[in-house]
Amino acid sequence: MPTSMIKLIAIHPAGKSALDLTFSDAATARWSAVDLIARNTDLTAPLADPAYFSRAFIEAGALAWPNGLELSPAALYRKLKEAGALHKAAA
């Protein structure tokens, strides 16, 4: 499956600034938002509040928050894969 077709299908909180992600190819990973929060922009600053961070949801396969911040599932997948953090169940 090309990464451009990858979508998020499930997210679960994993601490104050991390999420366990499940992608449409059944790959899973724990993603930390620490680097994103550190950017401290208008869109990312609210994520520093664990109560706000926990309001993450899936919008058309992308990771999103109520303030309009959306993260591309393909970009998340690629970064997690490059970091060796992506896990696929054995077939």
Residue 56 pLDDT greater than 70, yes or no: yes
Instruction: Please check whether residue 56 lies inside any domain of the structure.
Output: yes
Instruction: Please check whether residue 90 lies inside any domain of the structure.
Output: no
| pLDDT given for residue 58 in this prediction | 98
Statement: the pTM of the whole predicted model exceeds 0.85: yes
31: domain range? 3-82
> Which pLDDT band, with edges at 50, 70 and 90, does 87 fall under?
very high
Token pair listed for 49 = 């509040």
Helix (H, G, I), strand (E, B) or coil at 69: coil
- The structural domain count of the chain equals 1
Residue 90 pLDDT greater than 70, yes or no: no
pLDDT in tens, 3-49: 669 999 999 999 999 999 999 999 999 999 999 999 999 999 999 99
Alpha helices in 1-91 (DSSP H): 34-38, 50-53, 73-82
Residue 17 sits in a domain whose CATH number is 3.30.2020.10
Q: How far apart are CA 12 and CA 21, in angstroms?
A: 7
